[in-house]
Structure 1
Amino acid sequence: MNAAATLPPFSAVIVAAGKGLRAGQPLPKQFAVWRGKPVLRHSAEALAGAGAARIVVAIPEGADAAAQAALTGIDGLTLVTGGATRQESVRLALEALEAEPRPLVLIHDAARPDLPGDVIARLLAALSAYPGAIPVLPVVDSMIRADGDLMAGNARREELRRVQTPQAFRYADILAAHRSWQGASDAGDDAQVLRAAGHSVSLVDGDERLKKLTFAEDFMADTPSPLAIRVGTGFDVHRLADGEELWLCGVKIEHTQGLAGHSDADVGLHAVVDAILGACAKGDIGDHFPPTDPQWKGAASSAFVEHAVKLATEAGYAIGNVDLTLICEAPKIKPHREAMRVRLAELLGVECDQVSVKATTTERLGFAGRGEGIAAQAAATLVRKG
């Protein structure tokens, strides 16, 4: 069953009429992108998904195009131009609901985009006994009263709560409370407006996810940090030929044939290089050491490995481990495997237990099975430093 179907009928107001100057964004923060969407859209989608029959959004003067772009595709929305204060914006939005009122209304700040459905459910449930309800969190730090830059005295944190939105009300009561407000329209929130009209406000459990986006750092925290671990793979093939030296993993092996290629054709090291380059998204071995470049003719592949490690280091990563498999019928790899591990670890700048060298055959199938060449496949992990 849809969870929204179990909630009583309600409408919603989203307050998005502020300038959001402290957030350091190139446009008001409610229209800035957060987690891939405009901040305002997160709240509108959450309220619509919870079953809000109508949603009125109070926006800054002249921001219709930005609001419509942020909210495109969401049904049941009405835009109103907000007032000079938050309180005035809410009153204007509540009055826009009067033509088709629902018994209950949620009033939510757009700057709190991560809106859990269970908070909505708790708020609406509380309205069966009270005309208003707000989500709150306990104060866990010691509290004081301040006199400018000086400590003026203690404050009892047991009596204090952190107040969030949305705040929930019986529609008729909150509309009447706003209309009957006396004096400057500078109430901090709508619960204060309701209490000033003589009504009780219930407290329900809030949620840390309802954090208000206020400063530039709140948007920077949304920027994905570099992955802690990255993985790359590499694969290479070289043919066996008469008159060539056979180098595998930086170790020269006596054999009737060697591997042919532009460099020393060390198929194992080439696979490792591609795995490292792949893990740090730096292309492939051909991008850095093209076979058409004469300077790499006969070059030792150890230089390629050292270059790949340097690129990974510059990207902020260290080698985690390398796992290499050589695929051939001959020569036998096992007698040389430990020497290969030691040399590969030396080139990578890691301990030997971070390097694995294995070998297999293709059961005499394919070019490797016919002894025409050697293939290698490698996997490398990079670990973010710091």
Structure 2
Amino acid sequence: MEFLAVIVAGGSGTRAGPGGAKQWREVAGKPVVRWSAEALLAAGARQLVVVIPEDARPLAEKALAGLARWTTAPGGATRADSVQSGLRALSASPDSVVLVHDAARPFLNRRHLDGLFDALAGADGAVPALPVADTLKRAETEDGPTQTVPRAGLWRAQTPQAFRLGALLDAYARWPADAEPTDDAAVMEHAGGRVALSAGDPMLMKLTYPEDFAMAERLAGAARTTRIGMGYDAHRWGPGQSVWLCGVEIPHDHTLIGHSDADAGLHALTDAILGALGEGDIGDHFPPTDPQWKGAPSDIFLKHAAALVAARGGRLLNVDLTLICERPKIKPHRQAMRQRLAELLGVGLDQVSVKATTTEGMGYTGREEGLAAQAVAMVELPA
């Protein structure tokens, strides 16, 4: 399903303790805001607006490097101001579905979004929520007398929250100027809209205090599993003037023959990632019998595999690729290949290895009848 998304990342995060604003800090080696941005983009967000402090553009560019379809909007004095700034930065019809999400809730996945979309179908807004399980106490001071509050019918609201763009903007226009809503659902409710609940998830915890980051680190590790996939591809040589390998065009007196651009390196790596996910092989996703892939650049295939990792709430830990050929010489182009792969996968350069070898004149690669590639990918996924 196509949708729009706003990530609210405009706060200073002072309650989170020293270390800078919480949206730019890292959890399990990745900036907090990037966790949600990757999940939303991989799930199909057509536009993503990240609302940030006006001086934080360099931090956002660093945190979201390599991702597409995102832009920023300036944050306001309050969360409500920031949300409205993000909504106004979207260019879409009023009926478009928009998700508003707090950057401080990093462990978003596709299951959460599917539940929201289902709930929104019969309502003006949808909110993931958890029933209150703890006994609630009301006290005027920390050591003052308490009163037990009935918890029946009480829910803990989370984000993202789903609405239709025009309806949410109209609701905000009707919200009292002297009041501050605690979430967007309250704004829709005040305007008379019906808000439905979808299944919440304890993993959608909000990072607020220093101890929350310690918990998030444990959750990111304990609730995740590591998988390894292998890929192999080979193509025959044919007449040509250049060859595509690992997303880089190399001048050569032959080219590789295939249905797409025959980039054996990208094909092997795509299959390695798909293998780690248990998602079949490249032919299952891009059948060679389909004419739309005739001559297609193979970076489409690799981006698709990387998006599947993000959609599962996972991350790519590293990839290792070996090209097997007598010619062309790979070493002069190896750094450019690593840089292109890192760009396509949205990972650091040190997470990408490209190597080359020959078969000492033996076999079809040794006779220069074709080129082969093999790859290994390591992926971390929610357990």
TM-score range, shorter chain: 0.5 to 0.7
1:166 matched to which residue of 2?
160
Say whether residues 1:107 and 2:109 are aligned partners: no
Deviation string 1:186-226 (CA, Å, 9 cap, x unpaired) is 1100000111111110011101110111111222345579x
Any unmatched runs of 5+ in structure 2? 222-383
TM-score, structure 2 length as denominator?
Answer: 0.55
CA distance in 2 between counterparts of 1:45 and 1:223 reads 18
Aligned counterpart for 1:86 among listed residues 79, 91, 112: 79
SS of residue paired to 1:53: strand
Aligned partners of 2:94 and 2:164 also within 8 Å: no
Tell me: CA distance 1:77–1:148, structure 2 relative to 1, closer, same or farther (3 Å).
same
| Aligned 8 A contact 1:164 1:210 in 2 | yes
Aligned AA (1:183): A
TM-score (norm 1): 0.54
Task: Determine the C-alpha separation between the residues in 2 that align with 1:219 and 1:88.
Answer: 26
SS at match of 2:54: coil
Q: Does 1:59 align with 2:57?
A: no
Cα offsets for 1:113-146 (capped at 9, x unmatched): 0002111101011111001010101111111222
CA contact (8 A) 2:16 2:22 kept: yes
C-alpha change, 1:164 and 1:222, in structure 2 (3 Å) is closer
d(CA) in 2 for partners of 1:124 and 1:184?
Answer: 32
Shift of 1:47: 0.4
Q: Partners of 2:94 and 2:180 in 1: how far apart?
A: 25
Q: 1:26 to 1:186 in 2, by over 3 A?
A: same
Aligned counterparts of 1:75 and 1:224: Cα–Cα separation in 2: 29
Flag the 1:100–1:67 CA change in 2: closer, same or farther, 3 A: farther
- Structure 1 residues 106, 129: closer, same or farther in 2, change over 3 A? same
Q: Does the 8 Å contact 1:88/1:185 carry over to 2?
A: no
Equivalence for 2:213: 219
Counting only pairs closer than 5 Å after superposition, residues 171-190 of structure 1 correspond to structure 2 as 171-190=165-184
Greater alpha carbon shift after TM alignment, 148-157 vs 79-88: 148-157
| Separation in 1, partners of 2:216, 2:201 | 18
Matches within 5 A, 1:1-386: 7=1, 9-98=2-91, 103-149=96-142, 150-222=144-216
Q: Is the 8 A contact 1:82 1:88 kept in 2?
A: yes
- In structure 2, the CA distance between the partners of 1:222 and 1:118, relative to structure 1 (3 Å rule), is closer
The aligned counterpart of 2:289 is none
Matched-pair contact (CA < 8 Å) for 1:144–1:151: no
Whole-Å separation in 1 of the counterparts to 2:211 and 2:60: 24
2-structure distance, mates of 1:151, 1:186: 28
Give the distance between the partners of 1:182 and 1:215, measured in 2 at CA: 30
Q: How much identity, in percent, do the aligned residues show?
A: 46
Shift of 1:161: 0.8
Following the alignment from structure 1 to structure 2, what is the Cα–Cα distance between the partners of residues 164 and 23?
A: 19
Cα RMSD, aligned residues only: 2.1
Q: Which runs of 4+ in 1 moved over 6 A?
A: none
Task: Give 1:154 deviation, angstroms.
Answer: 2.4
The Cα of 1:184 is off from its aligned counterpart by 2.4
Partners in 1 of 2:116 and 2:74 — Cα distance? 27
Q: Secondary structure at the match of 1:157?
A: coil
SS at 1:54 equivalent? strand
Which has the larger Rg? 1
Secondary structure, counterpart of 1:188 in structure 2: coil
- Once the two structures are overlaid, the 10-residue window that deviates more, 177-186 or 116-125, is 177-186
Aligned counterparts of 2:80 and 2:178: Cα–Cα separation in 1: 10
Given that 1:87 and 1:185 are in contact with CA atoms closer than 8 Å, whether structure 2 keeps it comes out as: no
Stretch deviating more after TM superposition (140-149 or 155-164): 140-149
Letter in 1 for 2:31: P
